Amino acid sequence: MTQDPSRPAPGAGDVLLGIDVGTGSARAGLFDRAGRMLASAKCDIAIWRAPGAMVEQSSRDIWQAVCRATRTALAEAGLPPEAVGGVGFDATCSLVVVGEGGAPLPVGPSEDPERNIIVWMDHRAVAQAERINAQGHEVLRYVGGRISPEMETPKLLWLAEHRPDIFARAWQFFDLADYLGWRATGDLARSTCTVTCKWTYLAHEHRWDAGYFRQVGLGVLADEGFARIGARVVEPGTPLGQGLTGEAAAELGLRPGTPVGAGLIDAHAGGIGTVGAEGTPERDLAYVFGTSSCTMTTTREPVFVPGVWGPYRSAMVPGMWLNEGGQSAAGAAIEQLVSFHPAAAEAARATEALGEALPVHLARLAAEGLADLSEVATRAEGLHVVPEFLGNRAPFADPHARAVIAGLGMERDLPSLVSLYVAGICGIAYGLRQILEAQERAGAPVERIAISGGAGQLDMVRQLLADATGKPVLASAVAEPVLLGSAILGAVAAGHEPDMTAAMQRMSRTAAHYEPAGGAIAALHDRRYAAFLALQEAARAARG
């Protein structure tokens, strides 16, 4: 994406750079101070999968991708380094392990030091998570009652038990967003977003709980004063160090000293980029629909929701509480689902020739000939999907849950593939509805859904989510609200905005509303949702 030539060129320091590291790529986006995107660029990153649910990445590869994406975006916009006044990072909640001086250390049996990141979706630490949950420490109240193997303390415990030499040699254990902040500025401060949501830091009390770490078998971290996981914790957007170091600035193609804000988890950046657009943040649920999905609800007082992570203080909007749910596989679940169909390979070849991703092609076919997008649910034709291929993140916190597909026949053609795709999107929507209902019962209702993420950009998907949940869906005016969320961090760090709330209101805007249908369509979704719940319960019962 390139700058609109009709728009005046920004002055020195007027551009904000947001950098997002997702599961498959690093992206850089340049925004003006009103939140309008000027240019963006993407660079793919490597990922390794190994037996035992292991998924690994490389911090060196990711940093190089960040630098390439940033330089490309600057070139696309035709902007000099001094135009950028602030930088923000967001990233997946993946665990980065480095030795002295930041040298990468191997985290798995490959013994390859370049593979020094345990990716968020890695489930090697299921047994450790179950042991931690069985001990029932008080801090678990702030993760919905049960810790997930996607979080960092079970992964740290796995390293301590299975790779004790690496655990002992590690100089720092970072969440990926914090690693990027350190790599850019040399500042070891951690963000309240990362350590509160994924590491059990108690932000409302400004402390780590040493008793928890000693109870679960990680007492050495407490004995060290938590120096390896975060002796200093700051709120998102807080300026780090003295800004970009000379080395990092040269690699990124930016000016040394450019302010850098403490970062966010990628989903939370999507929340920052969307929920402040219309009124107060607590009115809207931020729904980030990407490879996985994440739901984020903002409240003024803490609300405890069984099976939903949190409540977390200052994890997204400083000074407010956050409840975080979601689905461990969302966009990835749809890709997995459609890959099972006999027509998938032929359809993928056809879409490649058209330059379309397969889900985009299927969504377009699903909507063909419909006077009203709400009618797309009728294309599911008796098919029902509980898309829990990678477990249930919320509201059951059950990593052992697995997908259920019901209603398959002998069809092998493209229309039946479209039907399966629609049923899968319905399943994602019913999982979201289930989280909304659990939160409402606990006292954290929302009025609307503010959507972001690559899998949530299609009109058909947005309308189906509105219809299935009964909540209006709001779409951002910015094509990349996650990048905008990171750019907002840079705006606060640079002093362009006094705080995150003011920056959100100034820089984010809503472009479209998708209202839920009533009548027969609402009744159809009620019936399908009841089937979803029944199939989900049957799968749990079958496991014993």
List, for residues 193-249, the tens digit of each pLDDT value.
999 999 999 999 999 999 999 999 999 999 999 999 999 999 999 999 999 999 999
Indicate the angle between helix axes 126-135 and 152-162, nearest 10 degrees: 110
Residue 7 lies in a domain: no
List, for residues 376-391, the tens digit of each pLDDT value.
999 998 999 999 999 9
Q: What is the pLDDT of residue 3?
A: 47
Claim to verify: residue 259 and residue 336 sit in the same structural domain = no
Give the residue carrying structure tokens 């020195």: 12
Residue 378 lies in a domain: yes
Amino acid letter, residue 341: H
Helix (H) or strand (E) holding 469: helix 459-469
Residue 19 lies in a domain: yes
List, for residues 333-376, the tens digit of each pLDDT value.
999 999 999 999 999 998 888 888 899 999 999 999 999 999 99
DSSP 8-state assignment for residue 78 = T
Residue 34 lies in a domain: yes
List, for residues 11-24, the tens digit of each pLDDT value.
678 999 999 999 99
Give CA–CA dist 544/540, Å, rounded. Answer: 7
Look at residue 17 and give its three-state secondary structure: strand
Residue 471 lies in a domain: yes
Residue 431 lies in a domain: yes
Q: Read out DSSP for 26-54?
A: EEEEEE-TTS-EEEEEEEE---EEETTTE
Half-sphere exposure of residue 362: CA atoms within 13 angstroms, side-chain side: 33
Per the structure, the complete domain to which residue 249 belongs is given by 15-273+478-508
Q: What is the pLDDT of residue 1?
A: 46
Residue 71 lies in a domain: yes
Phi and psi at 493, nearest 5°, equal -60, -35
Claim to verify: residue 521 and residue 503 sit in the same structural domain = no
Lowest mean pLDDT among 151-160, 370-379, 472-481: 472-481
| CATH number of the domain to which 522 belongs | 1.20.58.2240
pLDDT > 70: percent of the chain: 98
Q: What is the pLDDT of residue 11?
A: 67
Claim to verify: residue 73 and residue 181 sit in the same structural domain = yes
Claim to verify: residue 471 and residue 482 sit in the same structural domain = no
Give CA–CA dist 40/43, Å, rounded. Answer: 11
Domain count, the chain: 2
pLDDT at 7 over 70: no
317, 298 contact by CB (below 8 A): yes
Q: What is the pLDDT of residue 8?
A: 56
Claim to verify: residue 245 and residue 358 sit in the same structural domain = no
Give CA–CA dist 435/432, Å, rounded. Answer: 5
Claim to verify: residue 68 and residue 169 sit in the same structural domain = yes
Give CA–CA dist 299/310, Å, rounded. Answer: 11
Claim to verify: residue 240 and residue 364 sit in the same structural domain = no
